[in-house]
Structure formats: C-alpha cells, structure tokens
C-alpha cells in the first residue's frame, strides 16, 4: 500500500482493502454500479451512496454542491454525456483493466510566479510536474499510470487557492493523514496540498466541475506595496472608478458568446462552444485598500477572465464617455477578439474555487461496508 495522509477525511477504519470476490468487494462494486446507472434525465441513486458526515462545513464551502435536480448540469450540456460515460460499467471496466483501482482527489494552493502554468511540460517547471514528482515517490507509479487531471490549466504566473485534481493508484492509501504530510514535505513550499479526498471512483476533476470562481486583485493605492506586488495589479497611477467597474462587470453576467474575450486555445484538438454563463461578477472593496474582482461561471474559455478584467479596467479608468459599459456590450455582441482590449497580466489572478456534485466528491459506501481508506 502507498503511505499517506488525509487530515479531515481520516475517520475511516484503517487496514487492507477488500479482496476481489469478497463480500466487501461485491458490496463496493454494487455501490459503484448503482451510481453508474445514472443517466441524464434521472436523479442520482440514493440509499447506497450518501453524503459524508462530519465534513459538510469544509466540503460544501470549498468544492461540493448538492444535486437536487435530475442532473447537476443544464440540459444539453456536454458534461451530462461525460458524466454518464464516467459512471458507466464500461468506464469502470477501463479503470480496472488499467489497474487504476483507487481514485483520490487533492485540493491545491500555489503561487504561480515561478511556474510555466499548471500543465506538465517536458522542458519547463510546472505545478503538475512538481505534484506528479511527489506522487511518484509516494506511490511508485509513473505519471502515465497516475493519470492526473486538474479542473483546469492555469497559465504562467496565475495562482490558485482551490485547484482540484484527481489521480489513481493500484493499491489503497493506507494512511491518508501521513500521505498528506508526506506530500507537502516533498513538494516545493510554493505548492501546498490543502486537502486529500476520497471521491467516487469515477470522479473526474475536469469533466465533472459544475462551476468555477476566479478572483482578480487590483491595488489602486498610490504607492506600490512591495509585499502585494506579486499578487495584485498595481494601478495607483490611474485608479479605477469602483462604480464604473461595477457597471462594466454587470455586462458580462448572464449567458453569452464570449468569442470577443477568449484567445485561441493552445490545444488545437479541443473544440468547445464559446457560450458560457456568468452567474456573478462582483467588485469588492477590501479593508486593506485592494479591490477584489470575483467572477463565477459554469466554465471559462482560454484567458477569458484576464481579457474581461482588461476590458473592465479600460471602462473604469478612461475618460468619461470614451469607453462605456454600452461599448463593452457592443464588443461582447460583436464576437470579434480583434477589437477587444488587451487582457490583464496574470499575476493578479487566482483560481479560487471549483464546485462539483456532492454525490461524486462526498461519495461514501453504504454504512456497514468497510473500505481500506
């Protein structure tokens, strides 16, 4: 078994996992198959899968959402099909055939200044590369077997407080608390694992996300604070009008085609609709003088948040009437990236939170069934 650590989720009995063919193994597979029977238009199965007890304060706030509707995603959303595929018997058989018997999820926080983004690169320092290096030492699995996937790829210089990723192991982690401590002991100090979770075996950090929240920090104070400069955009030379920031931010709220505010993806094989829904775009004045822009949506296109912030700054710092919220609306409806302003720099941006169906992230077998971890 892998050595391990899982802090706030370490309330389960320890010991070896159920052996294939045993009563406990059969019960686990029955539980997985009951959830696998879900399909768009049907609710998640009840009875054999329940919400974790004792963790609701932590999980509900950081990354889980209760699904009371027939599906956690809107009708017609591509994620319905992805979820059904993950939960199917075929998906389970693929994982078992590859020896990926156990699924774990991590919540990460990191300072992205020293990294070429999150995604692994053969020649370059990335967050994923550092996490995989630590996991390989702890589990003995190479990066191909681990199959790590994150909720999204943060760019060079972008930070995170709530990045979620998943990975697989062949054997169960014997001690989640020890695993958590060991992981942080190996990784560099600007990358921290905040929580280790044991989600549903079919959990996928990228495909199953319901919504994400990003924060962008502005420093409108006249004198640049040397202790804030790496994590907030200093604009004291021409501070933005908070009222105009709010007027402009309101333009983005709702369901729109965000072609004007997205760059072409680096992944040429990825084809996604440019339509996204922004649930809220709040402008918060902090007691320390910083301005925090909070944007929450069902998903974001490549560099979409930074491009929106760049447009907000143009609307909030320009001469009155030169570039207004209405101009921004026309730009959004024009669907032309060429006429939109330059995006904001990466160092003020944080991936703050990713939310998933509670039935997946807080999954736990039926009471009376003992799992190894």
Give 284's strand partners: 292
Please give the Cα distance from 87 to 65 (Å, whole number).
18
Q: Which residue spans within the chain are E strands per DSSP?
A: 64-65, 102-110, 149-150, 159-169, 191-197, 211-219, 233-234, 254-257, 275-285, 291-297, 349-357
Residue 155 among the catalytic residues? yes
Which residue reads 């948040």 in tokens?
A: 305
Residues 6+ apart with CB under 8 A from 261: 301, 304, 307, 308, 311, 332, 337, 340
Candidates 111, 142, 155, 225; catalytic one? 155
The angle that helices 23-36 and 89-97 make with each other, rounded to 10 degrees, is 130
Three-state secondary-structure class, residue 359: helix
| Nearest-5° Cα angle at 81, 79 to 87 | 100
Q: Which residues are catalytic?
A: 155
């Amino acid at each position: 078994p892998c050595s391990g650590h899982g802090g706030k989720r370490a309330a389960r009995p320890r010991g070896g996992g159920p052996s294939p063919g045993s009563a406990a193994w059969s019960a686990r597979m029955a539980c997985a198959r009951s959830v696998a029977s879900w399909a768009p238009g049907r609710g998640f199965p009840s009875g054999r899968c329940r919400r974790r007890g004792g963790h609701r304060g932590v999980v509900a706030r950081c990354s889980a959402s209760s699904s009371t509707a027939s599906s956690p995603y809107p009708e017609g959303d591509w994620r319905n099909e992805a979820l059904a595929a993950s939960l199917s018997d075929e998906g389970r058989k693929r994982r078992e055939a590859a020896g990926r018997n156990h699924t774990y999820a991590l919540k990460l926080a990191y300072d992205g200044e020293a990294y070429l983004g999150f995604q692994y690169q053969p020649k370059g320092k990335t967050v994923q590369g550092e996490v995989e290096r630590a996991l390989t030492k702890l589990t003995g699995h190479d990066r191909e077997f681990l199959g790590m996937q994150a909720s999204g790829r943060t760019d060079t210089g972008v930070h995170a407080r709530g990045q979620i990723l998943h990975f697989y192991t062949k054997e169960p982690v014997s001690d989640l608390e020890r695993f958590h401590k060991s992981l942080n002991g190996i990784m560099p100090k600007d990358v921290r694992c905040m929580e280790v979770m044991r989600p549903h075996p079919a959990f996928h950090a990228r495909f199953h996300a319901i919504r994400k929240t990003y924060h962008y920090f502005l420093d409108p104070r006249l004198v640049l604070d040397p202790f804030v400069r790496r994590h907030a955009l200093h604009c004291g030379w021409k501070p933005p009008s908070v009222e105009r920031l709010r007027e402009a931010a309101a333009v983005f709220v709702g369901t729109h085609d965000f072609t004007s505010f997205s760059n072409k993806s680096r992944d040429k094989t990825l084809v996604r609709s440019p339509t996204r829904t922004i649930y809220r775009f709040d402008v918060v004045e902090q007691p320390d003088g910083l301005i925090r822009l909070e944007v929450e949506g069902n998903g974001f296109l490549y560099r979409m948040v930074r491009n929106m912030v760049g447009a907000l700054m143009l609307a909030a710092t320009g001469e009155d009437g030169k570039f207004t919220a209405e101009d921004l609306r026309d730009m959004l409806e024009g669907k032309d990236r060429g006429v939109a302003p330059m995006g904001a720099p990466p160092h003020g941006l944080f991936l703050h939170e990713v939310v998933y169906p509670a039935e997946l992230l807080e999954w736990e077998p039926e009471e009376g069934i003992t799992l190894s971890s």
